[in-house]
Amino acid sequence: MAGAGGVSRSRVEKAGVVGAGVMGSGIAEVLAAAGVDVMIVDEAPGKAAAALEQIASRQRARAAAGKVSAETVEKLLARIEPVETLGRLAGADLVVEAIVERLEPKRQLIETLEKIVGPDAIIATNTSSLSVTAIASAASRPQRIAGYHFFNPVPAMKLVEVISGAHTAPEVEHALVALAARFGHRPVIAADTPGFIVNHAGRAFGTEALAMLREGVAPVDDIDAILRDAAGFRMGPFELMDLTGLDVSHPVMESIYNQFYQDPRYRPSVLAARRVEAGLLGRKTKRGFYDHGDGRPISPAGPVEPASAEAALPGRVTVLADNEASGLQALVDSCAADRTSDGDHLILIGLEGEDVAGAAVRLGLPASLCVGFDPFFGIDRHVTLVASAATSDRTREAALSLVRRAGRKATMVEDSCGAVCQRVIAMIVNIGSEIVEQKIASAPDLDAAVRLGLGYPLGPLEWGDKIGPKRVLRILDTIYDRTRDPRYRASLWLRRRAELGLSLQ
Ligand SMILES: NC(=O)c1ccc[n+]([C@@H]2O[C@H](COP(=O)([O-])OP(=O)(O)OC[C@H]3O[C@@H](n4cnc5c(N)ncnc54)[C@H](O)[C@@H]3O)[C@@H](O)[C@H]2O)c1
């Protein structure tokens, strides 16, 4: 790890960046901020000089806003030199390539660079989806080649994945880890596997949301709102796909799925494929899951919400949930005085991976009177209520009205195993557990990468421990039993730790 042997010999003082696009210019900026002299080069004439101008205007704006001194900015800018030929990189200790994301051009570039730089120089690739080993396969010194995967925008996203290929020397990894500390990014060590850490760990959020949309659980804006309010994501999955552009996110979903030999855990959605064909890409085409003209969702019509504020409250309410999930009972009790004794009976069932249909039948209850709820996410803010195909309209209205009368937001979704948040978060924990089991990342690196790279409120393993490993396992096993879909099979690592009562972190 950082500070281990070999670091001083590989200390980076002079670097080159090839590719002066979005990523290359950001990488040059952070390297220069760390005191490294950087040459930046691009095959398009004038592009490197233009990149320096952009860095200069960004940095000078920061100085004008008082975030940094003008002197510091001018020193940083003086360390970046745009050059027009690769030959100028001869004396570099490190060259980072951030050219087009295609294997052949990257392999050719590395072959060329190896003839220019010294034998001890490190050549790093910023690839986000290609194998580092494959990029290094034509190299004469593959031990000096590694992945250095930054996130956009580079100066703001304080994370970098360090990836060793099959032949990468340990001191190369150490040197890149040590360098990251100098520019203030958290380095995480990732195995050379599809999506590395962040693009692998982030699979569940979008694919599970698309699965719910396809199953008709709820419209996009309801799924987004529940995941924001009840689980604490900054942005809902459909908002995020619209921001990234489905032309980018759907191919990433397909690529990771195919690179893992069609493991159902990563299965993308035919819904997304059709939307790409239709040009409903997101903000860039003004229409995606939302219409970016008026902000309204464009999706198959969801269930029509009853005007529940005026609807009759139920006369009798039974809450069926274990003690730890008694929050809804208190909420129900808080509006007991408003209820009339002649109202209907409402049965609220706390779901733990189950759907309402299954729970009602298992418990021998009249399904028309049953509504499920998510006892673990959102009881104090945004309650997810779940109706089965047999739940009567009066029962739906009564449940919504009751929760809203108690001062909470409430959304009624159609039957879904584990409501909305449970299935998304259980799958995030499950995929995170696979990442640790396969030694793609250490537990602390995984959690840090997910918080910093994806902006989730917690890392997958922190989340698993917060909910409780046994409960996460129960949720997954229940969804798996009910759906018979191997997508939901629990990671053995998670199962064993849950059974042994061990923490996931
Ligand atoms: N954009 C992102 O969010 C992001 C995030 C992480 C990693 N990446 C990876 O970073 C790399 C660059 O992505 P980007 O978004 O900056 O692309 P970009 O299109 O903005 O920039 C690429 C630059 O490389 C130049 N270029 C292409 N082939 C070249 C060659 N053979 N020699 C020299 N210059 C060449 C192009 O002229 C262009 O200026 C890709 O591998 C990409 O997968 C991108």
Catalytic residue among 161, 173, 354, 397: 161
User: What CATH number did the domain enclosing 455 receive?
Assistant: 1.10.1040.50
Length of the chain: 505
Query: Measured from the CB, is residue 22 less than 6 Å from ligand 1?
Result: yes
Nearest to 169 by CA among 355, 9, 340, 47: 9
The reported pLDDT for the residue numbered 146 is 98
Please report whether residue 244 resides in a domain: no
Are both 401 and 445 inside the same structural domain? no
Tens of pLDDT along the chain (505 residues) come to: 333 433 445 689 999 999 999 999 999 999 999 999 999 999 999 999 999 999 999 999 999 999 999 999 999 999 999 999 999 999 999 999 999 999 999 999 999 999 999 999 999 999 999 999 999 998 999 999 999 999 999 999 999 999 999 999 999 999 999 999 999 999 999 999 999 999 999 999 999 999 999 999 999 999 999 999 999 999 999 999 999 999 999 999 999 999 999 999 999 999 999 999 999 999 999 999 999 987 788 865 555 454 445 567 788 899 998 765 568 888 888 877 676 666 789 999 999 999 999 999 999 999 999 999 999 999 999 999 999 999 999 999 999 999 999 899 999 999 999 999 999 999 999 999 999 999 999 999 999 999 999 999 999 999 999 999 999 999 999 999 999 999 999 999 999 999 999 999 9
- Taking CA atoms, 310 is separated from 293, 307, 396, 409, in Å, by 32, 6, 13, 15
* Centre of ligand 1 from the C-alpha of residue 447, in Å: 27
Query: Measured from the CB, is residue 411 less than 6 Å from ligand 1?
Result: no
Based on the residue annotation, tell me whether 152 is a catalytic residue of this protein: no
Based on the residue annotation, tell me whether 149 is a catalytic residue of this protein: yes
Please report whether residue 392 resides in a domain: yes
Are both 409 and 433 inside the same structural domain? no
Domain end among 351, 379, 414: 414
Based on the structure, what is the number of domains in the chain? 3
The reported pLDDT for the residue numbered 12 is 95
Domain end among 383, 414, 445: 414
Please report whether residue 227 resides in a domain: no
Token pair 């960046």 is found at 17
Catalytic residue among 10, 164, 199, 255: 199
- Taking CA atoms, 273 is separated from 129, 248, 277, 468, 482, in Å, by 19, 11, 6, 36, 27
What is the phi/psi pair of residue 202, to 5°? Answer: -85, 5
Domain end among 399, 414, 429: 414
The reported pLDDT for the residue numbered 298 is 80
Are both 432 and 410 inside the same structural domain? no
Query: Measured from the CB, is residue 19 less than 6 Å from ligand 1?
Result: yes
- Among 18, 22, 85, 198, residue to substitute to test ligand 1 (most atoms within 8 Å of Cβ): 22
What is the phi/psi pair of residue 254, to 5°? Answer: -65, -40
* Centre of ligand 1 from the C-alpha of residue 269, in Å: 28
* Centre of ligand 1 from the C-alpha of residue 139, in Å: 20
User: What CATH number did the domain enclosing 361 receive?
Assistant: 3.40.50.720
Are both 165 and 41 inside the same structural domain? yes
| Structural domain that includes position 477 | 421-500
The reported pLDDT for the residue numbered 324 is 59
- Among 54, 106, 126, 256, residue to substitute to test ligand 1 (most atoms within 8 Å of Cβ): 126
Please report whether residue 406 resides in a domain: yes
Alpha-carbon span 261 to 255, nearest angstrom: 10
Query: Measured from the CB, is residue 363 less than 6 Å from ligand 1?
Result: no
Are both 397 and 436 inside the same structural domain? no
Please report whether residue 174 resides in a domain: yes
Are both 315 and 364 inside the same structural domain? yes
Query: Measured from the CB, is residue 193 less than 6 Å from ligand 1?
Result: no
Are both 31 and 114 inside the same structural domain? yes
- Taking CA atoms, 392 is separated from 87, 319, 322, 388, 440, in Å, by 74, 18, 25, 9, 48
* Neighbour count for residue 260 (Cβ, 10 Å): 17
DSSP state of 17: E
* Centre of ligand 1 from the C-alpha of residue 44, in Å: 12
Are both 163 and 26 inside the same structural domain? yes
* Neighbour count for residue 342 (Cβ, 10 Å): 7
The reported pLDDT for the residue numbered 307 is 47
Are both 331 and 379 inside the same structural domain? yes
The reported pLDDT for the residue numbered 325 is 58
Please report whether residue 426 resides in a domain: yes
Are both 389 and 455 inside the same structural domain? no
Please report whether residue 454 resides in a domain: yes
Are both 178 and 36 inside the same structural domain? yes
Query: Measured from the CB, is residue 126 less than 6 Å from ligand 1?
Result: yes
Please report whether residue 235 resides in a domain: no
This model's pTM is above 0.85: yes
Are both 58 and 110 inside the same structural domain? yes
